[in-house]
Structure 1
Amino acid sequence: MIALDVAGGIATVTLDRPAARNALPTAGWRALADLLARVPADAAALVVASSTPGVFSAGADLADLARLVDDVPARTAFRQAMQDAVEALAALPMPTVAAVGGAAFGAGVALALACDVIVAGADARFSIPPARLGIGYPAGDVARLIARVGKGQAARLLFTAAPVDAAEALRIGLADLSGDGVDVARTIAANDADALRLLKNTLRSPHDSSLSAAFEASFGSPAFANGVARYRRTS
Structure 2
Amino acid sequence: MSNFAETYAALSPRFVADGVLELLFDAPNLNAVTAEMHADLGRVWRDIEYASDVRSVVIRGANGTFSAGGSFDIIERAIEDPATRTRLYRETRDIVVSMIECSKPIVSGIRGTAVGAGLVVGLLSDISVVSRTARLVDGHTRLGIAAGDHSVISWPLLCGMAKAKYLLLMCDPVTGEEAERIGLVSLSIEDEEVDARALEIATRLGQGAQDAIRFTKQSLNYWYRANSAAFDFSTMAEMFGLGGPDIREGLASLREKRPPRFTPDSSGGQSG
Secondary structure of the equivalent of 1:98? strand
- The alpha-carbon deviation at position 41 of structure 1 amounts to 3.5
Letter in 2 for 1:184: I
| Residues 81 and 144 (structure 1), Cα distance of their counterparts in 2 relative to 1, 3 Å cut | same
Q: Which residue of 1 aligns with 2:95?
A: 85
2:74 to 49, 64, 77: 64
- The alpha-carbon deviation at position 139 of structure 1 amounts to 5.4
Q: Which residue of 1 aligns with 2:163?
A: 153
| Residues 201 and 82 (structure 1), Cα distance of their counterparts in 2 relative to 1, 3 Å cut | closer
- Displaced runs of 4 or more, over 6 A: none
2:14 to 5, 11, 20: 5
1:60-139 correspondence runs (5 A): 60-138=70-148
* Matches of 2:199 and 2:67, distance apart in 1: 16
Q: What residue ranges of structure 1 are gaps of 5+ in the alignment? A: 207-235
* Matches of 2:24 and 2:143, distance apart in 1: 27
| Residues 190 and 49 (structure 1), Cα distance of their counterparts in 2 relative to 1, 3 Å cut | same
| Residues 22 and 90 (structure 1), Cα distance of their counterparts in 2 relative to 1, 3 Å cut | farther
- The alpha-carbon deviation at position 176 of structure 1 amounts to 1.0
Q: Which residue of 2 aligns with 1:198?
A: 215
Q: Which residue of 1 aligns with 2:268?
A: none
- The alpha-carbon deviation at position 183 of structure 1 amounts to 2.1
Q: Normalization by structure 1: what TM-score?
A: 0.79
Q: Deviations over 1:168-214 (max 9, x none)?
A: 000111111123322221232231222221222332349xxxxxxxx
* Matches of 1:139 and 1:193, distance apart in 2: 29
Q: Deviations over 1:95-149 (max 9, x none)?
A: 1111111110122221122211111123321011211111112255312111111
Q: Deviations over 1:30-71 (max 9, x none)?
A: 122333333224532211111231x21111112221122221
Secondary structure of the equivalent of 1:191? coil
* Root-mean-square deviation over aligned CA pairs: 2.0
Q: Normalization by structure 2: what TM-score?
A: 0.69
Alpha-carbon contact 1:26-1:77 (below 8 Å) kept: no
Alpha-carbon contact 1:4-1:35 (below 8 Å) kept: no
| Residues 139 and 63 (structure 1), Cα distance of their counterparts in 2 relative to 1, 3 Å cut | closer
Q: Which residue of 2 aligns with 1:25?
A: 34
Secondary structure of the equivalent of 1:57? coil
Q: Deviations over 1:9-48 (max 9, x none)?
A: 212111111x132222333211223333332245322111
* Corresponding residue pairs, total: 204
2:61 to 42, 50, 54: 50
Q: Which residue of 2 aligns with 1:35?
A: 44
Letter in 1 for 2:116: G
Q: What residue ranges of structure 2 are gaps of 5+ in the alignment? A: 1-9, 224-272
* Matches of 2:110 and 2:210, distance apart in 1: 24
Is the radius of gyration larger for structure 1 or structure 2?
1
Alpha-carbon contact 1:87-1:114 (below 8 Å) kept: no
Letter in 1 for 2:44: L
Alpha-carbon contact 1:33-1:85 (below 8 Å) kept: yes
1:165 aligns with 2:182: no
Q: Which residue of 2 aligns with 1:209?
A: none
Secondary structure of the equivalent of 2:60? strand
| Residues 205 and 31 (structure 1), Cα distance of their counterparts in 2 relative to 1, 3 Å cut | closer
Letter in 2 for 1:30: A
Q: Percent identity?
A: 27
Letter in 1 for 2:207: A
* Matches of 1:41 and 1:31, distance apart in 2: 19
